Amino acid sequence: MKFKEKFMKGMTLAVLAALGMSTNSNAGEFVTYKDQPVIHGEYIIVFSSDAAKAATAEGAISKLTARGNAKINQRWQTALHGIAISNIDEATAREIAATSGVESVSQNAILYPSVVQTNAPSQLDRIDQYNLPTDNKYTYTYQGTGVNAYIIDGAIRTSHNDFRPPGNPSGPSRATNDVDIVGGGFAPERHGTLVASVVGGIISGVAKDVRIHGVKVANGQGIGSRAWLLGGIDWVARNGTRPAVVNISWNWGPDATMKAAVESLVTAGFFVSVSAGNSDGDACTDSIAGANGVYTVAGMTDADENWNFQFSSGATKTGPCVSAYARVIATGASYLADNSYTTDAGTSFSAPIASGVAAQVLQIFPGVLPSVVNSELNSQAITNKVIGIPAVPAGTPNRILKVWP
């Protein structure tokens, strides 16, 4: 999303006079880029094509740079006539935009190349395109670099190839099992390993460079308990390092204690992605999926259908506590061997798609609140493509998670 505004003339005349600048009836445009990786304090100044006016503007800016810390880094004279400047604040940049002979002042920004993963697993293939059919590709720009992903689940097979660094298949694992709330050690477990790989696996995951932290709250058979889950949530609240996403692919009925604990994670600044649940009905009745401030992900089939017993094993919970849909079937790391992959179904494997997209957002905006990340995921989601919404589950948003941006 880009946003432009015209500099308001006449706001800072006294300041401009002090700087030796003059305003002009054809004041330049001041351009900022919202939701883009801008470089603060750096601007691109484009001068008028009228050489005399441009020279006047350059003279005024030189006076400015001589007085403060501002620095001219580049000058352009052929493809465009202008300069790249750093170490100036927004107020000064706006003043420059109002200078005679300046056509525009705009923010510098980082440009990342996009990457295409061919033969992408189904859960990734869907999130980079608006319409079916899918094309077996996953195109992405951000990999969640610098972001921590806490996987509150069974122990992760951290040695799996999917957790190696992107571009370095023999490099050190990006995953660790940080804490064992259950006891008994970190023998790899099926559910936790697959969930972690859908968040951040180099083959299976949305955010391929995220740092994965296992928080073990289930035993070797993938069975948890209320107390273990509460212990895992408390551990992340106390020890988690932001920017971070927290994935909770667990569901449970009404429970004021559980709901309050989950909400405290959000209050502490953690983006929390939760599975909607696999037993049909209203996700708001679930103390985790229905907690305030979390991002709740429902499941859909590979035909974009609301998951409702199409393959006998269950149906996604729905309703107004759902934030968005992702595919309910995922292929990712198997707990059995480092080069083995497995496919499973359930909203447990939909939630990590949101964790991965949130990590992409947090790579560029590491300081934003969970509510801002939630809004960002919603605002750029694919809308009105899920079949069966709203006719079947009333109040469910018809939204499919999309890679960011």
Pairing of strands 82-86, 102-109: unpaired
Of 125 and 376, the one with the shorter C-beta distance to Ca ion is 125
| Binding segment (CB under 5 A) for Ca ion, from list 36-44, 117-125, 151-159, 202-210 | 117-125
Q: Is 86 a catalytic residue?
A: no
Place of tokens 């030189």: 62
- Quickly count: other Cβ atoms within 10 Å of residue 372's Cβ: 15
137 binds Ca ion (CB under 5 A): yes
* Helix 370-379 × helix 351-364 angle, to 10°: 110
Binding residue for Ca ion, selected from 95, 128, 153, 209, defined by CB under 5 A: 128
Q: Which residues 37-76 are close enough to bind Ca ion by CB under 5 A? A: none
DSSP annotation of 28: P
Where are the alpha helices (H) located in 201-348, listed in sequence order?
Answer: 226-239, 256-267
Q: Is 348 a catalytic residue?
A: yes
> b vs e for 8-26, b when ≥16 Cβ sit within 10 Å of the residue's Cβ?
eeeebeeebeebebebbee
CB of 127 to Ca ion, least distance (A): 8
125 binds Ca ion (CB under 5 A): yes
| Binding segment (CB under 5 A) for Ca ion, from list 123-131, 167-175, 201-209, 255-263 | 123-131
String marking each residue 177-216 x if it binds Ca ion according to CB under 5 A: ----------------------------------------
Binding residue for Ca ion, selected from 24, 86, 122, 129, defined by CB under 5 A: 129
Q: Is 213 a catalytic residue?
A: no
CB of 219 to Ca ion, least distance (A): 37
117 binds Ca ion (CB under 5 A): no
CB of 121 to Ca ion, least distance (A): 11
> b vs e for 318-357, b when ≥16 Cβ sit within 10 Å of the residue's Cβ?
bbebbbbbbbbbbbbbbbeebeebbebbbbbbbbbbbbbb
Task: Report which residue type is found at 268.
Answer: A
CB of 126 to Ca ion, least distance (A): 7
- Which one of 128, 153, 178, 286 is the catalytic residue? 153
C-alpha 168/C-alpha 85 separation (Å) is: 36
Of 140 and 186, the one with the shorter C-beta distance to Ca ion is 140
Of 125 and 286, the one with the shorter C-beta distance to Ca ion is 125
Distances (CA, A) of 78 to 56, 72, 81, 82, 91: 19, 17, 6, 9, 29
304 binds Ca ion (CB under 5 A): no
CB of 124 to Ca ion, least distance (A): 7
- Which one of 106, 348, 350, 355 is the catalytic residue? 348
Of 191 and 402, the one with the shorter C-beta distance to Ca ion is 402
C-alpha 44/C-alpha 108 separation (Å) is: 6
- Which one of 191, 209, 273, 304 is the catalytic residue? 191
SS3 content of the chain, % helix, strand, coil (to 5): 25, 25, 45
C-alpha 174/C-alpha 162 separation (Å) is: 9
Task: Report which residue type is found at 255.
Answer: D
Binding residue for Ca ion, selected from 39, 132, 135, 227, defined by CB under 5 A: 135
Residue nearest to Ca ion (CB): 125
The two most distant CA atoms of the chain are separated, in Å, by 78
Q: Which residues 248-267 are close enough to bind Ca ion by CB under 5 A? A: none
Q: How far apart are the first and last CA of the chain?
A: 9
385 binds Ca ion (CB under 5 A): no
| Binding segment (CB under 5 A) for Ca ion, from list 21-29, 94-102, 136-144, 395-403 | 136-144
CB of 58 to Ca ion, least distance (A): 48
With 0-12 CB in 10 A as exposed, 13-18 as middle and 19+ as buried, what is 93? Answer: buried
CB of 304 to Ca ion, least distance (A): 13
Q: Which two tokens stand for residue 379?
A: 């605002």
| Binding segment (CB under 5 A) for Ca ion, from list 30-38, 128-136, 159-167, 282-290 | 128-136
Q: Which residues bind Ca ion (CB under 5 A)?
A: 125, 128-129, 134-135, 137
Q: Please list the active-site residues.
A: 153, 191, 348
